[in-house]
Structures are given as structure tokens and as C-alpha cells.
A and B are shown apart, each in its own frame.
Chain A
Amino acid sequence: MLRFVLRRTAATLVLLAGVVLMTFALARLLPGDPARLIAGARADAEAVAAVRERLGLDDPVITQFTAYAGNVLQGDFGRSVVTRRPISEDILTFFPATLELVLVAGLISLLLGVILGTLAAVKSGRPADAGVRSVAVLGLSVPDFWIALVFQLIFFATLGLVPFGGRLGTGIAAPDFVTGFMTVDSLIAGRFDLFTDALHHMILPVAVLAIPSMAITIRVVRTSLLEVLSQDFIRTARSKGISPARVYFKHALGNALLPIVTIFGLNTGLLISGAVFIELIFNWPGLGRYTANAISASDYNAIMAITLVVSVAYTLINFLVDLSYSFLDPRVDLT
């Protein structure tokens, strides 16, 4: 077990160093001269040279990289062109709103994915299976930003069931910042009206965000369950007279757990990507909308900072998933 953990830790550290190197390389690929960009179009050659000197752009690439890595380790990503604030502060401000959305959507997609995937595997080849598989194909094929717009048309513009966007109704003051989760903060403040309003605003974004990862979970659960269900020990369990529910949920699902946990880790990447579109359309003040705005304003510092931070988080989540293997299945250690 210890060897497995140590090996995975070393591999993850190498990967993280690679991620930093890659964002550095991408930032250097940027079109145009960064010194000219900062000095302004009308600056003379001397002013540009001064900026170049100050930023260390004339230094060898190795020196530039160590300076970059040093800044990154201290959480210094420079300033955003859009908000004119340090990017690290921006990320901390906008992150909780996205986390709230991604957490809820992630849990819902996992729950629905496991239930529907199990149903499809148990009823393999029957109409229920075909129905669930159609849902999965649709969920993977229909662009989420389009579903968001169509849901807005139906549920907001036509039926008036849900608000257009945002986290709270217009003109309603947010509760004091404690966790950054609107639902939790409103409960802490003892404002139940705010809590229901916040929930009301979450329904559509969460529903749309959950669809692609739910579709993938359905597929993985169905395929891995079908594989387990065809094995001998399942037949033995059945012939011992164990109830079907116990066979499916304890024996079968327990042995299909590794692929399900793996896909949960990979789905976080899908959810983070989805949040960029969903937050833009539902005007959700999170990291996703911040990213979309940074892209349309060509705010390269912010784009690279978010790429780095999000990818480090994603790598760490998948590292935890890897570690969980050895708890879920002791046989993993042998490899």
C-alpha cells in the first residue's frame, strides 16, 4: 500500500511540474510582443526596452521559467486586464460560486448515472435499457450551451417557472460571506427566504451542467456492471438465494466500483469545462463566467492562470481517485 501511494505521489509531482512548464510554454507562444502590449502602442523603443528589462524578457528562457514557477508557487499570477485586480484575488472571489454549482451537479449526475446505468444493465436488451441508452446518447451529443438556451426559452421565457439567471433575484442583498455558498450562507444568516430563492436560481444551471457527466456515468456503469454480472460469482450468489437487489447493489456494483470512481474523477474536468458555458449563459458570477470574459477580452494572464489552477486541482482530484483504488480494491497494490 505504502509503495503504491509513494509511486503515485511521485508521478503526480512530475505531472504538476509538467503542467507548470506547459502553461509557461503556452504563455510564451502568445501573439505579439508582451512588452509592447504593456508599454502601449504609442510608447517609443526606449520605453518598450525598459518594460522588457523590467519583465526580464531578455533573460535566458531558464531564468524566465524559474521566475515564473517561483511566482506561481507564491500564488502570484499578475493582474487581470478586465477587473484590474490581482488574478489570485479574483480566483478566490469567484471560485465558491462555481464550486457550489459543480458540487451539486456532480453529485446529482453521479446519483442519476449510477441508478440509470444499473437499471440499463439489469434490464439489458429490454425497452428500459434502450430508453436509458437513448438518454445517454442524447446527453453526449447535444451541446450543453444549447440545452441551456433552449431550457431558458422553455422554462423562463415561455412557462415562467424559473428565473433567467444570477444567484439571487435582482435587488436582493446577498447574506454575509461565510462559505461563499449562497445556500449555506443564507441558512447561517437565518434567512430562509434567501435560501429558497438561491435554490430556485440553481435549478436550471445545475440541471444543464449535470447532463453530460450523467450520460458518461450511465455508460460506464452499464458497461462495467454488464461485465461483472456475466461472471461466475454472481451466478453463485444468485443460486444461493440472495435477493436480486442485494446481488446487484452489493456484489455487482461493489466490484464495478473502480471504473465508476475513475469516471467521477474525469467528470470533474467535464463539469469545470461545462461551467464556462453555463455560467456565461445563466449570468452566474463564478470562475466559468470569469474565464469566458477573460477569453473575449483577450486577458491572457487570466486565461493562463485559470488553466494552471484548474488543471492542478483536476490533477489532484484524479490523484485522490488513484489513491482510493487501494482502499476500494486491495488487489491494486500488487500491480
Chain B
Amino acid sequence: MSAETSLPPSRARLSITLGRIVRPVARFAGSSGQAVLAVAIVTLVVVISLLAFGACVMDTHITALDPLKMNIRARLEPPSAEHWMGTDKIGRDMLARVVAGSWISLSVSFAVLAVAAVIGTSFGLIAGYAGGLADEILMRVTDLFLAFPALILAAAIAASFGGGMVSTTIALAAVFWPWYARLIRSRILSLKEQEFIAATRCMGASHLRLIFSDLLPMVWPLVIVQATTDVGFVILAASGLSFLGLGAQPPTPEWGAMIFDSLTHQPASWWLAVFPGGAIAFVAIGFNLLGDSLRDHLDPSLGASEAGI
């Protein structure tokens, strides 16, 4: 007798549900060398950032994990067995700060992409589905946001809102949503012409039903793939804003802000810039590879990477 049939019904259902999630992920992760690497990096980063969040919430005061613990006698120490990434100008442990920074970067980029994806998808859905004047107006608004170089617009918005993490989130969401609007609109335009939509309409389906139960399920995988690729870009942009002094404020252990702080100690204290920047690059590489492999996996016709890396 197999294990599954002997389970009580509720647990059997759970294991089927889990299987539905786990199996495609496993199939994807095994699809190419690039996918394996991407899943490994992203899993590692997410686990580390959750641990950092846990340590922060629990307020554990484990010295090795406290990004704000100062020690004036151990300032600007190069990497050693005790401080793997050295210490900063007031003796804070760099490893603890880099680890804590992972939670900040990931949570900001998820918040940015959630806002951008919801606004962009709504714009794209309405513009593509309604067409006509509504489409024209919504797309002109989208064009307007794309008329600015991204970082310049983000900096201007963040400055207008007075800087800080909330400003950063608003500023970056304002820069990223137009891409979702365009992506979804063009997909809706081609889906709208297909027969199953006409058939559903003939059956008397309402607009809301068409949008939410027929069109939305067809476009959200696109949104997920786009958002996965964008995590890396949002982290880069957010750290860039912090580097300019518009994002996280001290003593928050944000990677971009840490690199800016290191400028006055260059090039003697190289570890102050090398490790936070390396962390940004590591996370961005992971999400870029993940986005690329997801795209290939879901749409092999694009033929981007049969060979992997």
C-alpha cells in the first residue's frame, strides 16, 4: 500500500497541493546548469535574509550578529578570524552589517515590485481590454514616466518625498510600473482576439469575469517572470539611491549607504566597500539568472539558453 493512500484525507490533500508546488520547481531547477545555480544563489540569499530578519525581531543581542554594536577599540580592522569582513569606522562588525543588509534590500525590492506589478498590471489590463480613448490616455501617462531617465526620475521623486526607505519604495515603484503596463497591454491585445475569449463573451460573461477569470490567469506568469528579473535591478537602483544619500539613513545597515560611508576611507580600508558591493552583485546575479532561466523554461521558443552557462 502506498504512503499516500494511507494518509487521512486532509493530509493527503496537503501532500497533493505541496506536490503541485514542489514538482514544477524541482523540474525547473533541474532544467539547466544555469537554473541550478540561480535557484541555489536565490535560496541562500532568502534564507540568510530571513535569519537576519529573525535576529532583528528577536533582538537576540548575539554580538556576532548585531549590526549596530559599536566597539571603538576595534575600529577599521581588516578582515580577520574574529571579524571575517573586518570592522567599520566605529568598530561595527561588517559581516553582521552585510547580513542584516540582505533583509533590507530584499524587503524593499519585494515591496517595490509588488506595488509596481499591481499598478502596471491594472493599467495594462484596462488599457488593453478597453481600447479606444482609455487606452490612449493610460498609455500616454505610461510614456510620460518613461520619458525620464530611470535613476534621475527616481532621485527626483525620492528627494521630493524627503528621502528614507518609504520614499525609495515610492520612487522605484514609479520607475518600474510602466514596464509592466506595456508588457501586459501588448499581451492582452493579442489575447483579446482569440476565439476562447469571443466564445466566453458569447456565453454572456461579464467584463469583470472576462478580466479576472480569463485574462488575468493568462498574464500573471509573465508578471512573475518579469518581477523575478527585476529584483536584481531594483536592488541595484535602491542601493544607488542610498549611495546618493536618498535611501536608508544611518545607522541602517543598507548596502549602498555602507559603500558611500566607505568613500572617505578609500583605498586604505578596502573591505568597507568590497563586501557590501559584492553582496549586491551576488544577489543581483542570482535573480538575473533566475529570471532568465524562468523565461527559457516557460517559453523555450525564445531560445535564449539551450546551453546554459
Contact = CB atoms under 8 A, between A and B. Distances in A.
Contact of A303 (B156, B233, B263): B156
A40 interface: no
A303 B243 contact: no
Contact of B152 (A27, A150, A298, A310): A310
B274 A18 contact: no
Contacts of B305: 133
A23 B289 CA distance: 36
Contact of B147 (A143, A281, A300, A314): A314
Centre residue among A137, A145, A268, A291 by max chain B CB count within 10 A: A145
B236 A26 contact: no
Interface in B250-309: 256, 259, 262-263, 266-267, 270, 273-274, 277-278, 280-281, 284-285, 288-289, 292, 302-309
Interface in A139-176: 140-143, 145-146, 149-150, 152-153, 156-157
A142 B284 contact: yes
A140 B237 CA distance: 12
A221 B151 CA distance: 24
A159 B256 CA distance: 26
B277 A143 contact: yes
A310 B155 CA distance: 13
B212 interface: no
A72 to B, nearest CB: 15
A223 interface: yes
A19 B144 contact: yes
Secondary structure at chain B's binding surface: helix, strand, loop or mixed?
helix
A18 B152 contact: no
Interface residues of A, number: 58
A314 B148 contact: yes
Contacts of B153: 307, 311
Contact of A18 (B147, B149, B277): B147
A334 interface: no
Interface stretch (A44-52, A110-118, A124-132, A243-251): A124-132
Contacts of B243: 145, 277
Contacts of A88: none
B104 interface: no
B240 interface: yes
A236 interface: no
A301 to B, nearest CB: 11
Given A137-B289, A149-B273, A315-B147, A307 B152 contact: yes
Interface in A262-296: 268-270, 272-273, 276-277, 281, 291-292, 295-296
A138 B240 contact: no
Nearest to A269: B149
A253 interface: no
B144 A270 contact: no
A273 B284 CA distance: 18
Contact of B267 (A19, A156, A314): A156
A22 B259 contact: no
A138 to B, nearest CB: 7
A82 to B, nearest CB: 14
B244 A296 contact: yes
Contacts of A268: 149
A307 B154 CA distance: 10
B156 to A, nearest CB: 4
A332 interface: no
Contacts of A129: 307
A65 to B, nearest CB: 16
B221 interface: no
A150 B274 contact: yes
B143 interface: yes
A272 B152 contact: yes
A133 B309 contact: yes
A198 to B, nearest CB: 23
Given A150-B277, A153-B266, A303 B289 contact: no
A327 B254 CA distance: 48
29 contacts: A14-B140, A18-B140, A26-B160, A125-B306, A129-B307, A130-B308, A137-B292, A138-B281, A140-B288, A141-B232, A141-B284, A142-B284, A143-B280, A145-B240, A149-B277, A152-B267, A153-B267, A156-B267, A269-B149, A281-B263, A295-B244, A300-B159, A307-B153, A310-B148, A311-B147, A311-B153, A314-B147, A315-B147, A318-B147
Interface of B: 140, 143-144, 147-153, 155-157, 159-162, 232-233, 236, 239-240, 243-246, 256, 259, 262-263, 266-267, 270, 273-274, 277-278, 280-281, 284-285, 288-289, 292, 302-309
Given A143-B277, A277-B240, 4 more contacts: A30-B160, A149-B262, A272-B152, A277-B243
